[in-house]
Amino acid sequence: MKRISNKSVFMALPLLMIFIFQMSPISGQEASTDSITVESIKDLSALADKDKVNAQIWWYGWLAGYSAATAGQGIVFFTSDNKATRQDMAVGAATTFLGAMGQLLTPMVRRDASYGNPDVRGSFTGGQPLSSEGSVELLKALALREKEGRSWKVHAMAGVVNIGSGLITWLGFKRTFRDGLENFALNTVITEAQIWTQPTRAIRDYRKYCRQNCNGEVMGVLEPESGWTVNVYPGGFAIRLDF
């Protein structure tokens, strides 16, 4: 019981603190976004910049959480004399390190993107105001990134890592099945929290912009990644799934 408690403290606490910290501002932003329209925003650049800052807060928050968890578990690994604890910390540090690398490899905004204004590159707040075209391009990029961040592919990749960590604990370290299951369950809670706390404000704002300025079209970028159709023909029917 003591071993599980140590693992929870050093692995889950930094990440769950990020989760709790982000839930309040994100939920507040979602509620306020529903009450605004692009027409009520005099400067489209300001709307795009708000969405960028909102997305970056989530990105930097989870990067910091994963980094802190990796460092904390690494310290426990090198200072503990308990074999089981060292094994837990080694697996935990490896998974949170992968989480940090995942954040670095999937930034919310491409670092080389200027969106029509070179001053925005590398700027957290967006630098100088963007042009209307640049603002729309930024909104579209953020919306696509938010959509990809909640896709089934992200859930699947996280699941593979979590299953792998559980199997290593169970079979690789010759521990009990319960130990492997606990490892899998804890990692799943953390990764799912990361996915579901990712903001979706840019998706809504970009959809509103397109509906108001593109004859009701959403330019196809926010269409569902998967879908199914049923075709009926003489003598039978066919069901098709696209993903």
- Residue given tokens 């306020």 in the structure block: 32
Sequence-separated (6 or more) residues with CB below 8 Å from residue 92:
7, 10, 11, 69, 73, 165, 183
Beta bridge mates, 229: 240
Q: Amino acid letter at 93?
A: A
| Average pLDDT of the chain to the nearest whole number | 77
Q: Residue 120: which of 109, 133, 108 has the closest Cα?
A: 109
CB count within 10 Å of CB 91 equals 24
**Rounded Cα–Cα distance for residues 68 and 93 (Å):** 10
What domain range is 74 assigned to? 2-242
**Rounded Cα–Cα distance for residues 69 and 60 (Å):** 14
**Rounded Cα–Cα distance for residues 4 and 180 (Å):** 12
Per DSSP (E only), the strands in the chain are: 227-233, 236-242
- Verdict on whether the full-model pTM lies above 0.85: no
**Rounded Cα–Cα distance for residues 82 and 102 (Å):** 30
Q: What percent of the chain has pLDDT over 70?
A: 63
**Rounded Cα–Cα distance for residues 23 and 57 (Å):** 12
Place 12 in a pLDDT band, splitting at 50, 70 and 90: low
Sequence-separated (6 or more) residues with CB below 8 Å from residue 228:
239, 240, 241, 242
Q: What is the pLDDT of residues 195-240, one digit of tens each?
A: 999 999 999 989 888 887 776 555 555 554 444 455 665 666 565 5
- How many structural domains does the chain have? 1
pLDDT of residue 34: 42
Sequence-separated (6 or more) residues with CB below 8 Å from residue 53:
124, 125, 126
Lowest average pLDDT, out of 84-88, 121-125, 166-170, goes to 121-125
The encoded tokens of residue 156 equal: 């699947």
